[in-house]
Structure 1
Amino acid sequence: MTDLLALARDLDAADPLAPHRRAFSEAPGVRAYLDGNSLGRPLAATADRIAGFVRDDWGTRLIRSWDEQWMQLPLQLGDRIGRAVLGADAGQTVVADSTSVLIYKLLRAAAGYDRARTEIVIETGNFPTDRFLAEGVAAECGLTLRWLEPDAVTGVTGDDLATVLSERTALVCLSHVDYRSGTVADMPAITALAHEAGALMMWDLCHSVGVIPMQLDAWGVDIAVGCTYKYLNGGPGSPAFAYLRRGLQGILRQPIQGWWSAADIFAMGPEYVPSPDIRQLLSGTPPVVSMLAMQDMLGLIEEAGIEAIRAKSISLTDLVLRAYDAELAPRGVRLLSPRDAAVRGSHVSIGHPDFQRVTQQLWADGVIPDFRFPDGIRLGLSPLSTSHVEAVTGLLAVRDAL
């Protein structure tokens, strides 16, 4: 125990991103917050931003703020996310709606792209929302789902995908980082395979955006959706973002044809004419208040740099694995994440039959990981807000609870 904590203190002392931890609000009574992969901590500056918004942008400027700043906010924030963490040029990312609504819009749009193609490929272990929505869209459009059943830890590989791709494949829909194991899929290779079969490729980025560098433009990704309340710290229920590569804009047709996606939003014309650009993915009035908090975190990410954030993530998860080997493996705890840092995201999953009870005890003691049915704990390590000492403290608390 002493060696692990001493090592953690040394790593924190050498950590170039350590000063950024001061930007986050304190949580009294919390010794270790290891659930940033579900809900990121708020930044201290966000309280002032929200107060200023109520006082000035809304309270003083009133409806004039729509013309002065709010109309363009979904596009401006989308471009900022694209530039900082997606490897996407401007005009291809927009912030709007929930993750579920955006996934539905884009699944439905992709399903109608080539009527001769009748199958959607998805993984049996994908996040429930993705699977449920794919089932619904398939039923609406008369399509067939082709299910991948990869190894739970290694995740979907090119070999897995090759077994189901055909001239019937309309769309492949996968997660970049597995929400259970934290395994990182080979986005460029899998995207290339989908394209070789003539299919569109859609990625769920919820567990990778903000912690894993990516190059959506360079890798030829067609469609991507991600949330902003995990590693982008936008707060509970903050809106999601969608990426649609420029070559598909004006070609794919999303199904929720609200006035904000019309070519002339204020024409109030008799029929719907979609905007030819990324604004076509909007529907109703954007949730401006819910777009506030993520702006502070985006500023922090821009300052730190996504490559440095990834290096800190690897350092944290490597240390957790070292502590797991020393303290939890001898107690019968299973490792449910990859050991290879190159294919491991920013959370480590472990399993034990007693973990549901253990999680309740940990929360009561101020150590907050995430329980996943039936017997898994996810140790979510948000690099800008989590220290090495905090990570080790959490793991040792799991040991003590066992």
Structure 2
Amino acid sequence: MDLSRDAAAALDDADPLADFRTRFTGTDDDGPDRLLYLDGNSLGRLPRETPAAVARVVEQEWGAGLVGSWRDWVEQSRRIGDVLADGVLGARPGEVLISDTTSVDLYKLLVAAVDARPGRDVLVCCADDFPTDRYIVAGVADSRGLTVREVEAHIDEGLDPAVLSAALDERVAVVVLSQVAYRSGALVDVAEVTRLAREAGALVVWDLSHGAGAVPAELTAAGADLAVGCTYKHLNGGPGAPAFLYVRRELQEQLRQPIWGWFGQRDQFAMGPAYEPAEGVDRFAVGTPPVLAMAAVEVGVRLTAEAGIERIAAKAQALTGLVVELADAWLAEHGVTVASPRDAARRGAHVSLAHPAAWQLTQALIARGVVPDFRTPDRLRLGPAPLYTRFVDVWDAMDRLRTVLSDRSYESYPVERARVT
């Protein structure tokens, strides 16, 4: 493979998504010292359309329309959800809702799923999954007198379906798993896991946070039951943007979520004395949605749907593949190892590199104008977002990392980790 910068530039020239880069802020600088942002798997860049979209809601819909704008706002959660379902998640209209935070959505769907499997007393999750997921599983189990069964996963290669299968039996009510491992980017086969759980009589709640907008989910084709995910990573909805939830159409009338709010009420504006859940996915709403924040989410979701999830995923595999190739060629001699699956079909849109001084390397890179992030215990995580990251950006970032390792400048940074990177 040609690992020259000219070869990377040639890949950019042939990139069918190249024009999307111009639709994000911070991408105009093309100088040798420009900022190289490789943390799109933590927080996506700001789309250029977002400020005007939010301003329109503030000035026209709120400022001029006042309370009358609720005629449009009340449908906002489902309207954006339908775009996300069809254009990104491979789901059907009426199955996705923009609602609350990922943590709250996970709690709602997990409790609803537990109640739909009476007599079963075990929840299954992955021991190496994102902390919030494990904490919420533990909290629900504690409040319901259930047992948590954590399955082990390889820190770099992810979950082995055979290991999961061995943990499934007639006691398991719900399985909670991430499609993409937050540390390594390792992919889990949604269809295969769903099949295994269904054979055991359990439901699965998927966390799509690290894959939505970069990795196809194909929820309908996989027969997925339930899912949640955030919108501020590859969907570029902005910091703290509201999350989404998915409920398979055939399950919606069977489930009752635990937080009974007026947006989930069948006849919302009747202001009746008793709660009766709305039909369809609306029953999983709770309270008044964050209208201003959802305007930003809508821009990011529509932009992603326009680009096409298959094209985005193909570029993600190519970008992360370049990271792997360059790491092997340039960094292995400095003690860096690839801590993500090498098979592109088993890898999401980020790559982790392992090194004993990964924290210090992260700080040294930031000082050199490269933005990655750090994950315990010793992982440098690189997330080249396909909509705005070029192949030459990856090449230049890896070149700066090679320099930091060669000149050992990272050794001047303290070993202690801060709370936020």
Contact 1:35-1:379 within 8 A present in 2 as well: yes
Contact 2:340-2:352 within 8 A present in 1 as well: yes
- Measure the CA separation in 2 of the matches of 1:322 and 1:180: 19
Measured against aligned partners, the alpha-carbon deviations of 1:357-402 in whole angstroms (never above 9, x if no partner) come to 1211221222100111222111001101100011111112222122
Give the 3 Å change call, closer, same or farther, for CA 3–200 of structure 1 in structure 2. closer
Measured against aligned partners, the alpha-carbon deviations of 1:72-91 in whole angstroms (never above 9, x if no partner) come to 00001111100011111111
The answer to whether residue 321 in structure 2 is matched with residue 318 in structure 1 is: yes
**Residue identity (%):** 47
Q: 1:100 aligns with which of 95, 99, 103?
A: 103
- Measure the CA separation in 2 of the matches of 1:117 and 1:53: 47
SS of aligned partner of 2:84:
helix
- Measure the CA separation in 2 of the matches of 1:309 and 1:115: 41
Measured against aligned partners, the alpha-carbon deviations of 1:221-264 in whole angstroms (never above 9, x if no partner) come to 11000100000000000000000111111221111101110111
- Measure the CA separation in 2 of the matches of 1:152 and 1:375: 11
- Measure the CA separation in 2 of the matches of 1:150 and 1:126: 9
Residue in structure 2 matched with residue 43 of structure 1 by the alignment: 47
Residue in structure 2 matched with residue 272 of structure 1 by the alignment: 275
Q: 1:231 aligns with which of 217, 230, 234?
A: 234
The answer to whether residue 394 in structure 2 is matched with residue 396 in structure 1 is: no
Residue in structure 1 matched with residue 37 of structure 2 by the alignment: 33
Residue in structure 1 matched with residue 23 of structure 2 by the alignment: 23
Measured against aligned partners, the alpha-carbon deviations of 1:139-187 in whole angstroms (never above 9, x if no partner) come to 1111111110022222112201111100111011100000001011011
Residue in structure 2 matched with residue 295 of structure 1 by the alignment: 298
- Measure the CA separation in 1 of the matches of 2:328 and 2:161: 30
SS of aligned partner of 2:91:
coil
Q: 2:311 aligns with which of 302, 308, 312?
A: 308
Alignment of 1:363-382 (within 5 A): 363-382=366-385
Measured against aligned partners, the alpha-carbon deviations of 1:32-70 in whole angstroms (never above 9, x if no partner) come to 100000000001111211222211111111111101x10
The answer to whether residue 15 in structure 2 is matched with residue 11 in structure 1 is: no
- Measure the CA separation in 2 of the matches of 1:163 and 1:311: 33
Contact 2:85-2:96 within 8 A present in 1 as well: yes
Kindly provide the amino acid, as one letter, of the partner of residue 148 in structure 2. L
SS of aligned partner of 1:266:
helix
Residue in structure 2 matched with residue 63 of structure 1 by the alignment: 67
Once structures 1 and 2 are overlaid, which stretch shifts more, 358-367 or 240-249?
A: 358-367
Residue in structure 2 matched with residue 156 of structure 1 by the alignment: 159
| 1:30 positional shift | 4.7
State TM-score, norm by structure 2.
0.93
Residue in structure 1 matched with residue 216 of structure 2 by the alignment: 213
- Measure the CA separation in 1 of the matches of 2:135 and 2:234: 24
- Measure the CA separation in 2 of the matches of 1:3 and 1:378: 21
SS of aligned partner of 1:250:
helix
Residue in structure 1 matched with residue 249 of structure 2 by the alignment: 246
Residue in structure 2 matched with residue 387 of structure 1 by the alignment: 390
SS of aligned partner of 2:381:
strand
| 1:302 positional shift | 2.4
Measured against aligned partners, the alpha-carbon deviations of 1:96-124 in whole angstroms (never above 9, x if no partner) come to 10111101111111111122111111010
Contact 1:204-1:226 within 8 A present in 2 as well: yes
- Measure the CA separation in 2 of the matches of 1:210 and 1:329: 31
| 1:356 positional shift | 1.1
Gaps of 5+ in 1: none
Gaps of 5+ in 2: 406-421
- Measure the CA separation in 2 of the matches of 1:3 and 1:175: 33
Residue in structure 2 matched with residue 84 of structure 1 by the alignment: 87
Q: 1:168 aligns with which of 162, 166, 171?
A: 171
Residue in structure 2 matched with residue 73 of structure 1 by the alignment: 76
Contact 1:262-1:272 within 8 A present in 2 as well: yes
Kindly provide the amino acid, as one letter, of the partner of residue 184 in structure 2. S
Residue in structure 2 matched with residue 143 of structure 1 by the alignment: 146
SS of aligned partner of 2:279:
coil
Once structures 1 and 2 are overlaid, which stretch shifts more, 303-312 or 290-299?
A: 290-299
Measured against aligned partners, the alpha-carbon deviations of 1:263-322 in whole angstroms (never above 9, x if no partner) come to 111111111111121111111100111111222222322222111111111110111111
Contact 2:3-2:326 within 8 A present in 1 as well: no
Once structures 1 and 2 are overlaid, which stretch shifts more, 350-359 or 337-346?
A: 350-359
Residue in structure 1 matched with residue 201 of structure 2 by the alignment: 198
- Measure the CA separation in 2 of the matches of 1:207 and 1:102: 16
Once structures 1 and 2 are overlaid, which stretch shifts more, 5-14 or 230-239?
A: 5-14
The answer to whether residue 354 in structure 2 is matched with residue 351 in structure 1 is: yes
- Measure the CA separation in 2 of the matches of 1:134 and 1:245: 21
- Measure the CA separation in 2 of the matches of 1:353 and 1:210: 31
State TM-score, norm by structure 1.
0.97
Kindly provide the amino acid, as one letter, of the partner of residue 21 in structure 1. R
Contact 1:122-1:174 within 8 A present in 2 as well: yes
- Measure the CA separation in 2 of the matches of 1:162 and 1:129: 23
Kindly provide the amino acid, as one letter, of the partner of residue 105 in structure 1. K
Kindly provide the amino acid, as one letter, of the partner of residue 5 in structure 1. R
| 1:3 positional shift | 4.6
Kindly provide the amino acid, as one letter, of the partner of residue 317 in structure 1. T
Kindly provide the amino acid, as one letter, of the partner of residue 221 in structure 1. A
Residue in structure 1 matched with residue 266 of structure 2 by the alignment: 263
